[in-house]
Structure 1
């Protein structure tokens, strides 16, 4: 019995290992068409716009016909996420820090183009070919560090999680701005309101934060800054802090 026979059906479909048609002719519908159509709907209408009936209607088929190619809505989301992520870029340079930074920025750019991706529910560890390719790229970069496998996986989880969290936050802020709420103004209003509630005797450091200039009217050079530039600066700062920690761990090894 071939080793492929032990691969679960969902993984066979994710890796495109499905059996060919026994009728000897190409089927009218296949996984790639279903997934590509579903991703197109998500790109246009967001993740909430993707339903099996809508995908089937766009393809000119009935909803039941999709179950031959995707076992469920949850499986369709897994297939969509791996397809939409795409392959990672080729690594550049030999420095682990620059490589990991480029890896994080490249993944963040994918999430910026397709913000719905960060809202796909996590269904387990990476399992699709594109997800594994991104993991392989990061592990190849970390191979230059001398870290052991637990530390490599820890760094990968930390950096990848930071990218997803940052992209999800950017997406939510963008949605708020689309509804007429400006991010900087909203943050200042939030700080002013909480400053009335946060007492220095109970929350001394937080009270100092709210009374600082950070949440007051921004200086002219920040006031004219594009929201995307501010988000980029915030992301880079956080990523640098993480990479500083990785560098310290590498130095200890």
Structure 2
């Protein structure tokens, strides 16, 4: 598969009768399946059936499943946001929260954006949006790229946990039961859990991690000015 497909290289079928489908419609049907049942449930045949067409009908619009998933990712991410928060840190906070929201809305997109694959204009646009907020800061090119990779990775990890129903609340409840039975073997964890019980901010792992990442970046930037 080439990235040209995502950049308008094959927008309409080149032969046959007037198109009865659109790429956006096909992607929408595929996303509905993935949202409900996971990425593994998506196939050309399944999506065609959802649309009331044959599997071969989709090949007039898409070369195969890999291209279908790529179009799904583009549609799920959507156009890059127009950030409204002033300054580099508030801007990156806004960007990270918006991207986290996209992953939460479509957990399958985490699996779909791993490994070697073509990149579309929306995904590249999200990167451009974040890098624009780092413009003019005393950071090397690799550091700017690593910054957005760390921020995106933080959101991906927390969204993946949420999708697997392993959120912080559920994890704490599971650990509490273990410590009730075996707490003497884990004194430090038992003491920490007791301190954390009832504290404000519990269940805010995404916001906590985001703040600590940006705290560290702010220290680095300040040290170079």
Residue 98 of structure 2 corresponds to residue 106 of structure 1: yes
Tell me the CA shift for residue 161 of structure 1: 0.7
Residue 151 of structure 2 corresponds to residue 151 of structure 1: no
Aligned residues: 224
CA deviation profile, 1:134-157 (whole Å, cap 9, x unmatched): 111101011142322111001011
Residue 201 of structure 2 corresponds to residue 218 of structure 1: no
Residue 137 of structure 2 corresponds to residue 139 of structure 1: no
Tell me the CA shift for residue 31 of structure 1: 2.6
Q: How does 1:156-175 map to 2 (within 5 A)?
A: 156-173=148-165
Of residues 159, 171, 174, the one that matches 1:186 is 174
Give, in whole Å, the separation in 2 of the partners of 1:141 and 1:154: 14
More off after superposition, 38-47 vs 134-143:
38-47
Contact map agreement 2:79 2:125 (CA 8 A) in 1: yes
Tell me the CA shift for residue 216 of structure 1: 7.7
Give, in whole Å, the separation in 2 of the partners of 1:22 and 1:71: 13
Q: Aligned with 1:156: secondary structure?
A: helix
Quickly say closer, same or farther: Cα 1:193–1:55, change in 2 above 3 A: farther
Q: Aligned with 1:212: secondary structure?
A: helix
Partner of 1:41: 33
Q: Which runs of 5+ in 1 are unaligned?
A: 1-8, 199-206, 223-228
Quickly say closer, same or farther: Cα 1:191–1:135, change in 2 above 3 A: farther
Aligned-residue RMSD, C-alpha: 2.9
Tell me the CA shift for residue 57 of structure 1: 0.5
Q: Which has the higher contact order (CA 8 A, sep 6+)?
A: 2
Contact map agreement 1:126 1:132 (CA 8 A) in 2: no
Q: Which runs of 5+ in 2 are unaligned?
A: none
Q: Aligned with 2:165: secondary structure?
A: helix
Contact map agreement 1:187 1:215 (CA 8 A) in 2: no
* Rg (Cα) greater in structure: 1
Give, in whole Å, the separation in 2 of the partners of 1:62 and 1:125: 27
Give, in whole Å, the separation in 2 of the partners of 1:130 and 1:19: 16
Give, in whole Å, the separation in 2 of the partners of 1:159 and 1:54: 34
Residue 212 of structure 2 corresponds to residue 241 of structure 1: yes
Q: How does 1:119-138 map to 2 (within 5 A)?
A: 119-124=111-116, 127-138=119-130
CA deviation profile, 1:193-232 (whole Å, cap 9, x unmatched): 664555xxxxxxxx42x1314158933x66xxxxxx743x
TM normalised by structure 1 equals 0.75
Tell me the CA shift for residue 125 of structure 1: 6.9
Tell me the CA shift for residue 47 of structure 1: 2.7
Quickly say closer, same or farther: Cα 1:217–1:80, change in 2 above 3 A: same
Partner of 1:225: none
